[in-house]
């Protein structure tokens, strides 16, 4: 599977439609966004072209293609307020493999490798991310790729009738 990252430079109806499908997919919504209740998890969230245009002002967004098929997106914010470690120039990472065809086949790993290469080249000192405590597969993936746990924020998200921590992880790039 050949993985490529393509910078998203402009919002479009097609991309918004795809992002909305992924962000409301009952198979993965609990992996993507934190919730405080079952109702909040089930609530549909809709993005507009204007919303995505605004997001592009604060995020670098890259579309993940596997053999020329869009399977996910990875995005970066710099110096985000929610970073656990407020080190100047730090990147906050978000990753979604929205298409089932891209999951479990290395698309996420390769997308992260490509993104890290890009961030390292531009002088970004570190990447930080959060992974929900129940998402053992993602936690294992990040550890395998050299991310280290730096903190746990208790009772961060609700899923499967209980609250779970957000595990904060980082990787030094410099």
pLDDT in tens, 125-150: 999 999 999 999 999 999 999 999 99
Distances in Å between the Cα of 5 and the Cα atoms of 64, 85, 136, 158, 166 are 5, 27, 25, 31, 27
pLDDT confidence of residue 32: 95
Beta-carbon contacts of residue 18 (< 8 Å; ≥ 6 apart): 70, 98
Q: What is the mean pLDDT of residues 59-69?
A: 97
Is residue 174 scored above 90 in pLDDT? no
**C-alpha closest to that of 172 among 152, 140, 150, 139:** 150
pLDDT of 5 higher than 90: yes
Checking if the pLDDT of 1 tops 90, the result is: no
Q: What percent of the chain has pLDDT over 70?
A: 100
Task: Give the residue-averaged pLDDT of 20-29.
Answer: 97
State the CB neighbour count (10 A cutoff) for residue 141: 17
CB 99 within 8 A of CB 71: yes
Q: In which band, very low, low, confident or very high, does the pLDDT at 83 lie, cut at 50, 70 and 90?
A: very high
Model confidence at 157, pLDDT cuts 50, 70, 90, reads: very high
Query: CA-to-CA distance for 111 and 109, rounded, in angstroms?
Result: 5
């Amino acid at each position: 599977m050949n993985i490529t990252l393509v910078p998203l430079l402009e919002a479009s109806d097609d991309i918004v439609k795809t992002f909305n499908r992924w962000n409301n997919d009952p198979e993965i919504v609990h992996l993507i966004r934190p919730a405080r209740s079952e109702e909040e998890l089930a609530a549909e969230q809709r993005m507009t072209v204007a919303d995505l245009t605004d997001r592009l002002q604060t995020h670098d967004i890259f579309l993940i293609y596997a053999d020329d098929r869009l399977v996910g997106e990875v995005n970066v914010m710099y110096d985000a307020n929610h970073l656990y470690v407020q080190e100047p120039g730090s990147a906050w990472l978000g990753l979604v493999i929205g298409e089932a065809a891209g999951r479990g086949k290395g698309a996420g790993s390769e997308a992260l490798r490509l993104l890290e290469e890009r961030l390292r080249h531009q002088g970004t000192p570190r990447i930080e991310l959060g992974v929900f405590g129940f998402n053992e597969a993602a936690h294992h993936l990040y550890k395998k790729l050299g991310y280290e746990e730096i903190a746990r924020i208790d009772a961060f998200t609700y899923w499967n009738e209980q609250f779970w921590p957000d595990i904060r992880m980082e990787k030094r790039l410099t």
